Amino acid sequence: METKKTATTQLDNLWKRGKELLGVEHPIICGAMTWVSEPHLVSKVCNAGAFASLACGNMPQTTLDRQIQTTRGLTDKPFAVNLITVAPNYQEHLETVVKARLPVIVFAGSLPKKSEIEKARDSGAKVLVFASTASLAERMLTYGVDGLILEGMEAGGHIGPVAGPILWQQILFEYSDQIPIFIAGGIATGKMMAHLLLMGASGVQLGTRFVMTEDCIVHENFKTAFRKARAREAMAAPQFDSRLPVIPVRALKNKGTDTFNRLQFEIMKKIDDKEIDRLEAQVQIEEYWIGGLQKAVIDGDVENGSLMAGQAVGLANEIKPVNDLIKELISDAEQELNQVFGKLSGASGI
């Protein structure tokens, strides 16, 4: 018996530009998460009519190429690669995705150069760039990007300095008529998605809720930690000294958090003793997070590994298939929009 498809009349009116940019039925993006957003999960999301990016982190170029080809073997739908501009292998990654002629390329980490955006667009790809502040968004617009992803500090993993609602007012309200804008950070429900679309968003990005799916490969211990966690337990790692400009990382507090705090002091001492420079110090910090994340995600060591999670973890207490998650988001969003428009019609006396 064929499952009845959820009507999306209201959604289609609001997220048309997001659909067109991504080339998908539902501009709901599964955020790129290192060790998590691999070919199996990405293809499942895309086959369900949504969108996802492979997280390449700092993997070898040959591994990235293999993952792209594997994903293409699992889905004929559009997908992207999320490039980390501060990764040592970034330039090789950019070459790989350009040669692969992907429909969408996402830049994250720090600002890409204008020439790198042009290189990506010359390959035929649409370019999305993360914007964590208003000034970064404005510069990316002058660089000719095709869309922005506004990620508030409520998100998991590496985060920016500004809360989502502030970014919506500074950037979404200001520029959504000029360029498609996707919202990330703290989104867990279709109701929230509906209201962001009403504010001008062309789509949304979720990470934590996609971790809590049957199709996600993370260790069961990782999912159990998420299911038990409260929103307030997803905390941003502090920066102790300006000499070591650490990009904050939001994760569930555990022994691994304490280890990272000690690591910062050890690295600062090495800087003072001129054993390493600031660049090498930052590399060591990122290596810690990559290794810590693998320890938790793959090995299931949730005590000592990194449990990167957004504050939406407090709303992610159920594990379900990707298909069911996307259907839930769409159904709840469409229902919320119908209720909102009904209330507005009643208020106006129409």
pLDDT in tens, 135-183: 999 999 999 999 999 999 999 988 889 999 999 999 999 999 999 999 9
Q: If you compute the radius of gyration of the chain from its CA atoms, what whole number of angstroms results?
A: 20
Least trusted range by pLDDT, from 5-9, 147-151, 204-208, 286-290: 5-9
Residue 237 to residue 250: CA distance in whole angstroms:
6
Note the pLDDT of residue 133: 92
Note the pLDDT of residue 350: 52
Contacts of 253 (CB under 8 A, 6+ apart): 233, 235
Note the pLDDT of residue 4: 56
Percent of the chain exceeding pLDDT 90 equals 76
Element containing residue 322 per DSSP (H, E): helix 322-348
Average pLDDT over residues 51-71: 96
DSSP 157: E
Residue 190 to residue 193: CA distance in whole angstroms:
5
Note the pLDDT of residue 5: 65
- Does residue 16 register a pLDDT over 80? yes
C-alpha 174, offset from chain centre = 22
- pLDDT grade for 3, boundaries at 50, 70 and 90: very low
> Is the distance from CB of 201 to CB of 176 less than 8 angstroms?
yes
The total number of residues shown for the chain amounts to: 350
> Is the distance from CB of 123 to CB of 101 less than 8 angstroms?
yes
C-alpha dihedral sign at 175, 177, 183, 189: positive
Phi, psi (5° rounding) for residue 9? -55, -50
Q: 83-136 pLDDT, tens per residue?
A: 999 888 999 999 999 999 999 999 998 889 999 999 999 999 999 999 999 999
Place of tokens 């957003």: 37
Note the pLDDT of residue 54: 98
> Is the distance from CB of 306 to CB of 296 less than 8 angstroms?
yes
Q: Both tokens of residue 205? A: 């990005």
Beta-bridge partners for 151: 184
Percent of the chain exceeding pLDDT 70 equals 97
Average pLDDT over residues 192-202: 98
Residue ranges of domains in the chain, CATH in brackets: 9-218+316-344 (3.20.20.70), 230-311 (no CATH)
Note the pLDDT of residue 2: 41
C-alpha 340, offset from chain centre = 28
- Does residue 192 register a pLDDT over 60? yes
Residue 224 to residue 60: CA distance in whole angstroms:
31
Residue 10 to residue 20: CA distance in whole angstroms:
16
Average pLDDT over residues 52-61: 94
On average, the pLDDT of the chain sits at 92
Note the pLDDT of residue 124: 97
- Does residue 234 register a pLDDT over 70? yes
- pLDDT grade for 349, boundaries at 50, 70 and 90: low
Residue 340 to residue 350: CA distance in whole angstroms:
14
Residue 184 to residue 151: CA distance in whole angstroms:
5
Percent helix, strand, coil in the chain, to 5, is: 50, 15, 35
Beta-carbon neighbour count of residue 289 at 10 Å?
22
Note the pLDDT of residue 348: 59
Beta-bridge partners for 183: 150, 204
- pLDDT grade for 265, boundaries at 50, 70 and 90: confident
Amino acid at 187: I
> Is the distance from CB of 256 to CB of 294 less than 8 angstroms?
no
Note the pLDDT of residue 60: 94
Beta-carbon neighbour count of residue 321 at 10 Å?
13
Q: 313-334 pLDDT, tens per residue?
A: 999 999 999 999 999 999 999 9
Q: Which of 90, 53, 333, 104 is nearest to 207 (CA)?
A: 53
Note the pLDDT of residue 292: 87
Q: 18-46 pLDDT, tens per residue?
A: 999 999 999 999 999 999 999 999 999 99
Q: What's the pTM value of the predicted model, to 2 decimals? A: 0.93
- Does residue 247 register a pLDDT over 90? no
Q: Both tokens of residue 82? A: 């999320």
Place of tokens 């997001």: 18
